[in-house]
Amino acid sequence: MELQKGEDILREDRRRFLSGNAADMLFETAASQPDQAAVVADGAATSYRDLARQARSVASLLVRNGLEPGDRVGILSHRDVRAAACFFGALACGAVAVMVNELLRPRQIEHILGHSGAKFLLTTGEVFDRLPARPATDVLVLRLTDLPASDDPDPRRRTDRDVAQIIYTSGSTGLPKGVVLSHGNLWAGMLAVVDYLGISRDDRIASLLPFSFDYGLNQLLCCAGTGATLVVERSPVPQRIVQTLRREAVSVLPAVPPLWLQLLGVEAFSSEPLESLRVMTNTGGRLPAEAVRKLRRCQPEADLVLMYGLTEAFRSAYLPPEQADHKPTSVGRAIPGAELLVLNDELSPCKPNEVGMLVHRGPTVALGYWNDEEATAKVFRDNPLRPAGTPPAERVVFSGDLVYRDEDGDLYVVGREDGLIKTMGYRVSPDEIVDVLYASGQVVEALVTSEPDELRGSRIVAYVVLAEQGRLDRLMQFAAEQFPRYMQPSRIEARRALQRTSSGKHDAAATVRHQDDPD
């Protein structure tokens, strides 16, 4: 079947995602257009035929080592063809994929593998061997060196409710939580994006974000589902990114606010339109209105789609590109197949311009949090607006995001209810950072907050009271070793004492305002 437009795949596949293994996205595309380039990385192209072959080999490797359906498989690799093959290979044999960001430190990797109960870790030597310490888990490490040739049958049958993936994302307290996604969630997320962006096999989609990030993964899914080509660029250098976009004739460019601001600072992007570029998309935080206007000026032939999403429901809203000029701070309305509610404290619909919590309904709503019934019950709830007498068969996501609608019904995000810091496209838990600062042995008290930052969205700032023998330079070195770049405090200030509220809790606002008296 030749897929030329987004609506073609929608007509054909809306029925299939209800019962199909999400790995079918790859294998059916490989069968219909085997010679089409699936992934371009480091100047080399891999066809859909070869990507499917590698995915089958991964599935064979796992099965030969005793994998049973439902086993969790950690995937620690550079964002490349091998990572894509591992993801689809794990799904194909009925496993649950757990993508691990290659930027994470051993502490975070160990938590993800241990918390998910991963039985296997698929990895490459160049990633695994550079870890300063090996994760202390019982996981079986399988290196992607000599994959077995495989003629295994088609992917194992899965239903839309079978677990396909666990994505780890920061919660309001402690270490990251695992969001459980079904095969149906992956199909629905892919189909919705293909629909409103009009993605076809002719597109070349830039991959600049980790596969462990739901936004970054969906670019891979949209390619596999339509036969589009994924163009991978791992360099963080904006000049090199622009060179790749131009050389590889990228037509779809997804990014987060910090990356957009970096690209706008590159002359070759801000002053020289990319002729192949068809659409730009933003999520992971609000893009400043002036940046929206600059993007529209420097790439006038490309549509700009402003979006909003959360890992627990993948994608929630998008603003049609024709509205970007006069509503640059809005995230628009619900994606295809979803409904967005804005509810007050009494769980009644808010009026226009009244701030309430965004609640998401639809097929992209995740199954819950892995091994955390309490957190699941708090966020994934029965639909409070279901008609009286209706059985509570549907769960919706209480996002934790405070929003309002304008008179036209378009959404605007105000902030987070749970105090999470949104930086560089990631949600970061202040409590997780505090835990690590305490573990350094250099502090007796720590408070983590944030400040506005045009490039990152927010910058992380820590205020600490040093232990008797504690040293700030040792603390900063420890933080650099323990945190990936996006979690590292941009500034750590030592104070004699941290301000407190009347109930004895740390008072962030007062601490920021207060300065120690000079000696």
pLDDT tens digits, one per residue of 350-399: 999 998 999 999 999 999 999 999 999 999 999 999 998 888 889 999 99
**Do 159 and 47 have their domain in common?**
yes
**DSSP secondary structure code for residue 220 in this structure:** H
Mean local confidence (pLDDT), 5-28:
66
pLDDT value, residue 300:
96
**Do 10 and 68 have their domain in common?**
yes
**Do 89 and 150 have their domain in common?**
yes
Q: Please check the confidence at residue 505 and state whether its pLDDT lies above 60.
A: no
**DSSP secondary structure code for residue 224 in this structure:** H
Instruction: Tell which wins on pLDDT, 198 or 425.
Output: 198
pLDDT tens digits, one per residue of 182-239: 999 999 999 999 999 999 999 999 999 999 999 999 999 999 999 999 999 999 899 9
Q: Please check the confidence at residue 40 and state whether its pLDDT lies above 50.
A: yes
Report the number of distinct structural domains present in the chain. 3
- DSSP letter for each residue of 440-457: TTSEEEEEEEEEEETTTE
* Residue 78 domain-assigned (yes or no): yes
**Do 453 and 439 have their domain in common?**
yes
**Do 411 and 448 have their domain in common?**
no
Mean local confidence (pLDDT), 272-300:
91
Q: Please check the confidence at residue 18 and state whether its pLDDT lies above 80.
A: no
pLDDT value, residue 108:
86
**Do 358 and 451 have their domain in common?**
no
pLDDT tens digits, one per residue of 235-275: 989 999 999 999 999 999 999 887 888 898 899 999 999 99
**Do 426 and 411 have their domain in common?**
no
Extract the runs of DSSP E, i.e. beta strands, from 347-410.
356-361, 368-369, 380-382, 395-405
Q: What is the pTM of this model?
A: 0.83
* Residue 294 domain-assigned (yes or no): no
Mean local confidence (pLDDT), 147-171:
82
pLDDT tens digits, one per residue of 403-424: 999 999 999 987 777 778 888 8
Range of the structural domain that residue 409 is part of: 333-385+394-416
Nearest Cα residue to 407 out of 299, 322, 327, 303: 327
**Which domain-ending residue is among 209, 234, 259?**
234
**Which domain-ending residue is among 234, 263, 292?**
234
Tell me the CATH number at 226.
3.40.50.12780
pLDDT value, residue 12:
53
**Do 133 and 80 have their domain in common?**
yes
3-class DSSP state of 246: helix
**Do 152 and 59 have their domain in common?**
yes
**Do 67 and 205 have their domain in common?**
yes
Residue 126: Cβ within 10 Å count: 10
Average pLDDT, whole number, for the chain?
Answer: 89
**Do 364 and 435 have their domain in common?**
no
pLDDT value, residue 171:
60
* Residue 292 domain-assigned (yes or no): no
Percentage of residues in the chain having pLDDT higher than 90? 63
Of 85-89, 99-103, 276-280, give the lowest mean pLDDT range: 99-103
Percentage of residues in the chain having pLDDT higher than 70? 92
The residue type at 423 = T
3-class DSSP state of 421: strand
pLDDT value, residue 153:
62
Tell me the CATH number at 475.
3.30.300.30
- Which pLDDT band holds residue 456 (cuts at 50, 70, 90)? confident
* Residue 287 domain-assigned (yes or no): no
Tell me the CATH number at 400.
2.30.38.10
* Residue 260 domain-assigned (yes or no): no
Q: Please check the confidence at residue 324 and state whether its pLDDT lies above 90.
A: yes
Measure the CA angle with vertex 322, ends 317 and 326; round to 5°.
Answer: 90
Mean local confidence (pLDDT), 157-180:
85
**Do 409 and 448 have their domain in common?**
no
**Which domain-ending residue is among 215, 234, 253?**
234
The 3-state secondary structure of 266-331 reads: CHHHHCCCCCCCCEEEECCCCCCHHHHHHHHHHCCCCEEEEEECCCCCCCCEEECHHHCCCCCCCC
* Residue 208 domain-assigned (yes or no): yes
* Residue 255 domain-assigned (yes or no): no
* Residue 450 domain-assigned (yes or no): yes
